[in-house]
Amino acid sequence: MARSIRPVLFGGGALVILYLGQLALAADRRFDAALLLGGGVALFLLALGRSRYFPETAFVLPRLPWGGWRHPATLGGLALLAAALALGGWAAREFYASEPTTSLAWLLHLASVALALAAAPLFDRALRTVDPGTAAPPDAAGGAPRLARRTVIGWLAIILAVAAIFRLYQFDSLPRGVWYDEAESGLQALRILAPGDYWPIFDGATAGAAHFLYLVAGSFELFGVSVQSIRTVNVFFGLAMVLAGYLVGRELFGDVVGLVVAGFFAVSSWAVTFSRFGMYASNTTPLFALLTIGFLLRGWRRESMTDLALAGLWGGVGLCFYTSFRLFVPVVGLFALYALIWQRWRHRRWPSARFWYGALLGVFVALLMVAPLVVFAYKQPDIFWARIENTSLFTDRTLAEAWPLLQENIRKHFLMFNWRGDPNGRHNLPGAPMLDSITAALFIAGVAYSLRRILEPRYLLLLVWVLISLLGGIFSLDFEAPQALRANGAMAPVYLLAVIPLALLLRAWALTGGRYYPHLLYAPVGLLLAGVALLNWQTYFDRQANDFAVWNAYSTPETLAAEALADLDPNVDAYVTSYFHGHPTMRFLTNDMRYGRIETTDQLPLILDPNRSALFILNADGRAFYEEARRMYPQAALTEVTPPVPGPPVLYTIQLSPENIASVQGLDGRYFANADWSGAAASRPAARLRLDLGAAAARAFLRRVERHPARRRLWPARFLLGGARPCRTLHR
């Protein structure tokens, strides 16, 4: 290997050029961006693309002997697997027969998975202990010293603390509202906690497996019923993602790079946004994908059946959450197949029997884990596949109609990391790139280098992982594109690609100037991560927090309406617009409080109890009703609710006292001097009229009432004038 520091200097300069190109792209100076990005990529590949700074031995499997089928530990493991299979079959039968009203099936299911996992260490015990010197992570083979375990734990603790600050700062106020799906999850979790035997596999209301609901129910038990308790589950997932990122980064590029990966996940505004958002779909796919691939790589390196069983466990768990994880299954399959072929081609050997047994064990654990969901999909396919069918780009379209939309979706999703991101305020600062400017520049360099080394398994894995994960957004509704939630599986490989340039610079330095100053580059890398943290902090806590589209995207008007009802005096009759009526956010926050419903087409005055106050809550479309109330009840308490950020009114409230209601009650009588109701008329208000009408006159009056645009509010007249009998007295 070259001993000059020129690769480090030119590589660092190339990253600066790429950063300037990313700034030009963000400013929509496309020509300048193309020149800078193209020049930066060329310089980076010239500086670092020709040298193999990471050895191929990371994917060379050791050949470790099998201890024999008669070994006591092997026999014990086989017995546990047989018991796990029996319990899993029993559980599947119970699920099919009794779901969702049986807890026995869940107990049998969990016991079967636990027994299968317990068998793995027994199998490992029957094998020779792995020599740490022959199964070390990749950094140890390239000349760079490994970090001590105590050092790694210390830095991980610091990174986790930073991640916790990003996820818990202003946790009670950001985001402001309670989104529809969050509220629905809360309602279903309360249903699980309610007396009775309700243990679902799949929840049709949230269109997902019920595993997330059980976690929410547990959070309610620990922290009380609130939206923060729902979001706490995803905060935990977000912190776990930091550790999983370290695991994968370490297995691919070594300890130091693993810590850098963890740092990216700790501060990424994309990851932070989903970690503070209480949906089962938000960050579960990247978390469980990282855990699956991390333990797969670790098991691959050490030929550990325990690690491979854990890879199967996390793969099965991932399938029990968001549907985008299903796209990760072919990623794992293609990677494993290619890596095996690559090893056979480059090193002329296949893995030992131990690896194949471990792979089978991992698949077995994954199947046990996902078995309840398979049972439900077989039993009720319409409910299981409904969400995918409703959001598919191809639903109700021919291939010819969908093709141009598909092409546009592909373009948008390929550009969402660096140019135009998700327009949905719940997922992103609308339209902003999904990556900050520093990470975006690193990502371009990482993709370029991976394409240069695409035949090596680790780089092919990351590229295929991104491409297949994007399909979740590409094949979904075109007007939502790019969709960062349905394509959330791409989050993990995107940040792994972004650390490749830093990994190359650190390794190049370790092989040149690092012989004398081994830690000199750690300070610049630390400053770069600090810059990334600052940019992402500003994005989430400043730009997103003060953007109306973001503020309004979390069912915030419904949340404000529910809060207005929560402490309502029992002597006040509440009415909400039909847009709010029955909304899960209203139901969750008001504990299914009863209130009346009004339509946007209703007109005042309505028939109200003059002895009670009334509160009307209208959404932004109720402006006309609100203005009519202002004219009719000038003394009433009327309020326009505006957001704390620049934006239009989102809510209107009308508070009527009994005096306000009584002030317009009565009839505005118009008196005509003839039976044809024509000519000049005298008018005066009256609370009570005495009319002497004959049968013919009564029928004529009734016909006029029926033709009146406001006939719904004149129901007393229809009631009192019903039939052919004359009506002598009309009350209102």
Examine residue 269 and state whether it is found in any structural domain, yes or no.
Answer: no
Last residue of a domain, one of 604, 629, 663: 663
Same domain, residue pair 653 and 565: yes
Domain boundary among 618, 641, 663: 663
Q: What is the mean pLDDT of the chain?
A: 86
DSSP 8-class letter at 541? I
Residue 724 lies in a domain: yes
Q: Domain for residue 121, yes or no?
A: no
Cβ-based neighbour number of residue 516 at 10 Å: 7
Do 624 and 708 lie in a common domain? no
User: For residue 322, what are its two tokens?
Assistant: 């968001």
In a domain, 717, yes or no: yes
Output b/e per residue, 200-236; b: 16+ Cβ within 10 A.
bbbbeebbbbbbbbbbbbebbeeeebbbbbbbbbbbe
How many structural domains comprise the chain? 2
Q: What is the pLDDT of residues 518-547, one digit of tens each?
A: 778 888 999 999 999 999 999 999 999 999
Q: Which two tokens stand for residue 553?
A: 């995207």
- Is the pLDDT at 714 greater than 50? The verdict is no
Last residue of a domain, one of 643, 663, 683: 663
688 lies in some domain: yes
**Chain centre distance of CA 670:** 62
Whether 561 and 659 share a structural domain: yes
Positive or negative, the Cα torsion across 683, 684, 686, 690?
negative
Q: With bands split at pLDDT 50, 70 and 90, how would you rate the model's confidence at 732?
A: very low
Residue 360 belongs to some domain of the structure: no
**Confidence at 690, pLDDT banded by 50, 70, 90:** low
Residues 6+ apart with CB under 8 A from 241: 265, 271, 275, 283, 286, 287, 290
Higher pLDDT, 626 or 700: 626
pLDDT above 80 (res 43): yes
Q: Rounded mean pLDDT of 460-489?
A: 94
Percent of all residues in the chain with a pLDDT value above 90, rounded to a whole number = 59
Q: What is the pLDDT of residues 314-327, one digit of tens each?
A: 999 999 999 999 99
Write down the pLDDT at residue 517.
77
Distance CA 649, CA 557 (A): 10
**Judgement on whether residues 560 and 651 belong to the same structural domain of the protein:** yes
Q: Tell me what the mean pLDDT of segment 140-159 comes to.
A: 77
> Which string of DSSP letters, residue by residue, matches 183-239?
HHHHHHHHHHHSSS----SEETTTTEETHHHHHHHHHHHHH-SSHHHHHHHHHHHHH
Please name the residues in contact with 419: beta carbons below 8 A apart, sequence gap of 6 or more: 25, 26, 433
Q: Which residues contact 668 (CB under 8 A, 6 or more apart)?
A: 683, 684, 685
Whether the CB-CB separation of 312 and 362 falls below 8 Å is answered with yes
Is pLDDT above 50 for 142? Answer: no
Question: Is 72 contained in some domain?
Answer: no
Predicted confidence band at 499 (pLDDT cuts at 50, 70, 90)? Answer: very high
pLDDT of residue 135: 58
Lowest mean pLDDT among 217-231, 255-269, 570-584: 570-584
pLDDT at 42: 96
Pair (628, 573) in one structural domain: yes
Q: How confident is the model at residue 689 (pLDDT cuts 50, 70, 90)?
A: low
* Whether residue 681 sits in one domain with residue 616: no
Q: What is the CA radius of gyration of the chain?
A: 33
Interhelix angle 104-125/72-98, rounded to 10 degrees, is 160
Residue 614 counted as domain residue:
yes
Boundaries of domain holding 630:
556-663
Spatial contact of 489 and 344, defined as CB atoms under 8 Å apart: no
